[in-house]
Structure 1
């Protein structure tokens, strides 16, 4: 590689790293507790659990479960309902002031065996909420997400350019060598390069999946415009089906389950919400294996007749989004994978911090050298 090419790659690595480093440090620090969000909820008593004395009871009709949530907040409308990931007998009903509101919601936990309200967990307050919002959008909504996506792209550029620069640099040293006798800056440079290479694949995966996740809102809207609108064209212009005219929700669920017997329910989107249509109740089904559980199958059920209207396959870009979301937080292999993700996260913090230290140290040394040269020139001039 020519000297000019190396200078270009060095410039790319320097400035892409400098621009994104502080934000990447923020994302690594806020992402660390989010890796263990489920475990933290159980340790802090935030997780809702079913009373076990009724463990052998049957299942209440889904209509009664949703009605219990609605009765808790009669001034709100139901947007979504979902069974708990670990215990399908526990249900959560999400209510908002209006169907077009997404940032003011109440979640009601309901015992699916007897339709009794158990708790109203708040997911819009507390330490984990602050960590999640800082990590997802910096409390700035879609502009914040897209900005963090840009920082993620700069991280990918920094990683690729760092690999390009690492190859000629390591021709002079053994792999993994950390020079102890050359001063602290050289030791940190060697450690920065070594840890950067060790975490290379992980950082690329987390960086790339993070970028994809920031596009989630736009991808869903494009899917609604590109494919869902074509399926719903026969119902265009019709108002939202009133609750009084809807078929029993339990019958609609049974129709969706009969249409996809090899899948289980993830969540229900009610008519008029962002993931459904004014005329349908949409049941999002998932597979039963660790991989297929991340791939969703929407089943659109006519809200009046409880008949399945369509069950489209999700486009490739939404499939990529769904696969990237759990991979971003190491949510494929249980607790062992989460621990590995956390350790790599900590190492990445060291890489980012050492890179910032090396730049500041070099800048100070360069400034000191410039001042010394100026002083020497001034001394010669005075003579």
Structure 2
């Protein structure tokens, strides 16, 4: 490789790394506890709640919906989700279907009685704070897109680092650490070794992070393009006083995909539906397909099934990237691997910053010495 080419790649690696390093450090540090979000929640909130009528008949989804709205007069339903391990239905309401997240109210209800399930929120405030900081720095879509750009720069930094690895390390055996030479050379060797060892993981986490920041544009594209033909004949909001049974709508959706399971329901006007439909999301029932979701649209006024539509490739990529980003595919063992690799990445980022500062210091001293000499001889 020509020296001019090496200099060009070195410039790319240096500046893409420097621009994103502080933000990547923030993401890595906040990501450490988020990897174990479920385990932390379970430790802080032991399972002491029991249903009112264990083994009893469940209320219908319509009854739960009515109960949730009675609990929040004047609000409308936005989302309904379902606990996996407990007979609990979670209902998100708000002053309007398109209310911002800060105006939404989340409540859980016992399927066997309709009673409110106590909020298990000890320590949750801290985890929610970390998640929000990790996701968008409390800046909404602009914060998400900014962090996505930082992730893009991180990817370029990784690629340029790989390009530079061979010419810089060609005279050394793999894994060589020059501990007896200068401190800077020693940390350069650590930086290169840890960087190349974590290469695949860093690329996966970086790229899935970028995909996750594009969630809102991806969902908006799906709604405006992929669903256009499905909802064309049902344009407009549901007429006042006209409402189809939610339970019946869910039953019809499940009939269309009996090999799938109910995940959540988005009500008309919400960010994951249209102005006139229940969007009933189903997911696969195997470890391989549980993160692939398929929506069924049912008109909220008439109960007519508009149709089932497979998610396009870009929404499938979004669904798969979320758990992969936090290592949620392989249980605790994979999370421990993710934790270790995250720590190593923090070391790579810190050593990269140190190497830049250490390289600037001699140049700074030379400049100061030259200036002093010029003043002395003037």
TM-score range, shorter chain: over 0.9
1:13: which partner in 2?
13
1:299: which partner in 2?
296
Partner-residue secondary structure (3-state), 1:119: coil
1:90: which partner in 2?
88
Please point out which of 268, 271, 274 is paired with 2:268.
271
Give how far 1:75 is off: 2.5
Residues of 2 paired with 1:178 and 1:239: CA distance? 67
1:102 aligns with 2:100: yes
Runs of 4+ deviating beyond 4 Å: 47-50, 120-125, 376-379
Residues 148-227 of structure 1: pairs in structure 2 closer than 5 A? 148-227=147-226
1:240: which partner in 2?
238
Give how far 1:67 is off: 1.8
Partner-residue secondary structure (3-state), 2:252: helix
Residues of 1 paired with 2:180 and 2:295: CA distance? 62
The structure-2 alpha-carbon separation of the partners of 1:133 and 1:106, relative to structure 1 and needing over 3 Å to count, comes to same
The structure-2 alpha-carbon separation of the partners of 1:241 and 1:199, relative to structure 1 and needing over 3 Å to count, comes to farther
2:128: which partner in 1?
129
Residues 283-322 of structure 1: pairs in structure 2 closer than 5 A? 283-322=280-319
1:22: which partner in 2?
22
Partner-residue secondary structure (3-state), 1:67: helix
Partner-residue secondary structure (3-state), 2:211: helix
The structure-2 alpha-carbon separation of the partners of 1:125 and 1:86, relative to structure 1 and needing over 3 Å to count, comes to closer
Residues of 1 paired with 2:294 and 2:89: CA distance? 20
Residues of 1 paired with 2:140 and 2:105: CA distance? 19
8 Å CA contact 1:123, 1:129 repeated in 2: no
Report the TM-score, using the length of structure 1 for normalisation: 0.94
Residues of 2 paired with 1:241 and 1:283: CA distance? 20
1:338: which partner in 2?
335
1:331-361 deviations in whole A, cap 9, x for unaligned? 1111111111111111101100111011111
Give how far 1:14 is off: 0.3
1:102-124 deviations in whole A, cap 9, x for unaligned? 22211111111222211246699
Unaligned runs of 5+ in 1: none
1:141-187 deviations in whole A, cap 9, x for unaligned? 11111111110010001000001111111111111111111122111
> Aligned-pair RMSD on alpha carbons?
1.9
Unaligned runs of 5+ in 2: none
1:366: which partner in 2?
363
Report the TM-score, using the length of structure 2 for normalisation: 0.95
